[in-house]
């Protein structure tokens, strides 16, 4: 295990009001970012937040092909689902990718029928204004009026899911779609340096006036200090140990918010789930290790790089599987994460991915 020492009072590491120093994952910058999306609603994607990279028909088509390959393996192990499979899209925002997914699913309707599978697509977001916009959107409205599509307001970090209309059963898996979401959820930063490990404490400032709510204008400073590893979540301790054993040097981001979200999804699905995600992320071990702090702790494009490699390690440690790109692309990484089956049996999915 990784050993750490404590030189600073623990009170300095607790979340504080305003823009005070706190561990990066507990910083008020994350709630401020959520406020930005609440205030902007669907307008956030009109000129400020980029979305074209993760909202395109090619990704939607690839997701549906991957889902079909995964379902073949699932049905072979567990039998046909007794109820419609819920595909829950998290943080759908503008709804553009939702429409692309619905079209891609519709194009494969015959294949789903041959598998004996029906789909219920649930579009969710934290921001109520986005739901209202979807219901009035001329392209999405007909879908939302159909039997197999619905929308709901949902905080993916919360434990409650009041939009569920009926309990699930032991043979029906869940599918979750998270595009351009995890990079706006809380993250933690750690620095491996010459055999020592330190944790990032963050302080941020925003300008006054009209630029106060512009995340691109926020100034985030991260200072690394000693910490008490016994107070970290078990999953985080395990990941840090993995990176220590790999001989990590440099700054490592741990996607704390993404892991908490995934644990909520695991609870909701009773560990029978497929997660499809594309984001501004690091997907290989080589791209994850040896990073300088300033490379990965910036808020450019209203987001922070996500460590998909850490999510892969998390799923593998929990008895699941994960498939990531073999090569690191500059702006985009896609991942397929699954739990609830016998590892090593999804040959069709591996070929498709």
CA angle 71, 56, 183 (to 5 degrees): 85
Q: What superfamily in CATH does domain 40-184+253-352 come from?
A: Vaccinia Virus protein VP39 (3.40.50.150)
Closest C-alpha among 193, 225, 189 to residue 7: 225
Structure-model confidence comparison of residues 340 and 17, the more confident one? 340
18's CB contacts (< 8 A; 6+ apart) are 28
Contact 68, 276 (CB under 8 A): no
**Residue 16, φ and ψ in degrees, nearest 5:** -130, 170
Q: What percent of the chain has pLDDT over 70?
A: 76
Q: How confident is the model at residue 273 (pLDDT cuts 50, 70, 90)?
A: very high
Structure-model confidence comparison of residues 11 and 157, the more confident one? 157
The ranges assigned to domains in the chain are 16-28+186-251, 40-184+253-352
Quick one: tokens of 306? 């996500």
Which range among 110-114, 157-161, 258-262 shows the weakest confidence by mean pLDDT?
157-161
Q: Is the pLDDT of residue 285 over 70?
A: yes
166's CB contacts (< 8 A; 6+ apart) are 83
Which range among 2-11, 45-54, 246-255 shows the weakest confidence by mean pLDDT?
2-11
Q: How confident is the model at residue 239 (pLDDT cuts 50, 70, 90)?
A: very high
Distance between CA atoms of 294 and 222, rounded to whole angstroms? 9
Contact 173, 81 (CB under 8 A): yes
Name beta bridge partners: 250. Answer: 192
Q: Is the pLDDT of residue 292 over 60?
A: yes
Distance between CA atoms of 233 and 242, rounded to whole angstroms? 14
Q: Is the pLDDT of residue 329 over 60?
A: yes
Count the neighbouring beta carbons within 10 Å of the beta carbon of residue 36. 18
Q: Is the pLDDT of residue 70 over 90?
A: yes
pLDDT for 100 equals: 95
Q: How confident is the model at residue 18 (pLDDT cuts 50, 70, 90)?
A: very low
pLDDT for 4 equals: 36
Strand pairing report for 149-153 and 321-324: unpaired
**Residue 220, φ and ψ in degrees, nearest 5:** -105, 125
225 three-state secondary structure = strand
Which DSSP state fits 284?
A: S
Count the neighbouring beta carbons within 10 Å of the beta carbon of residue 208. 6
Contact 281, 183 (CB under 8 A): yes
């Amino acid at each position: 295990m990784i050993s750490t020492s404590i030189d600073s009072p623990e009170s300095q590491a607790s979340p504080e009001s305003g823009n005070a120093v706190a561990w990066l994952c507990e910083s008020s910058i994350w709630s401020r970012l959520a406020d930005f999306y609440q205030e902007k609603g669907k307008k956030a994607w009109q000129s400020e937040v980029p979305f074209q990279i993760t909202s395109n028909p090619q990704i939607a088509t690839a997701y549906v092909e991957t889902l079909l390959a995964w379902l073949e393996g699932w049905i072979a192990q567990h039998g046909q689902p007794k109820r419609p499979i819920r595909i829950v899209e998290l943080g759908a925002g503008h709804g553009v990718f939702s429409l692309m997914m619905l079209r891609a699913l519709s194009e494969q309707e015959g294949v789903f029928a041959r598998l004996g599978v029906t789909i219920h697509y649930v579009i969710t977001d934290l921001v109520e204004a986005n739901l209202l916009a979807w219901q009035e959107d001329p392209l999405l409205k007909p879908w939302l009026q159909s039997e197999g599509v619905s929308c709901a307001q949902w905080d993916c970090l919360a434990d409650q899911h009041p939009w569920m209309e009926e309990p699930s059963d032991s043979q029906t898996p869940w599918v979750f779609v998270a595009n351009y979401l995890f990079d706006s959820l809380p993250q933690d930063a750690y620095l491996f340096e010459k055999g020592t490990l330190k944790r990032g404490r963050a302080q941020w400032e925003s300008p006054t006036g009209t630029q106060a709510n512009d995340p691109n204008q926020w100034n985030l400073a991260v200072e690394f200090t000693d910490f008490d590893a016994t107070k970290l979540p078990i999953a985080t301790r395990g990941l840090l140990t993995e990176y220590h054993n790999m001989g990590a040097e440099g700054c490592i981001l741990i996607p704390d918010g993404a892991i908490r979200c995934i644990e909520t999804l695991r609870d909701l699905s009773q560990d029978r789930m497929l997660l499809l995600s594309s984001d501004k992320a690091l997907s290989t071990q080589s791209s994850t290790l040896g990073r300088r702090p300033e490379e990965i702790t910036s808020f450019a494009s209203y987001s922070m790089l996500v460590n998909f490699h850490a999510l892969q390690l998390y799923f593998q440690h929990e008895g699941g599987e994960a498939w990531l790109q073999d090569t690191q692309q500059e702006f985009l990484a896609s991942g397929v994460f699954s739990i609830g089956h016998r590892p090593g049996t999804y040959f069709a999915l591996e070929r498709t991915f």
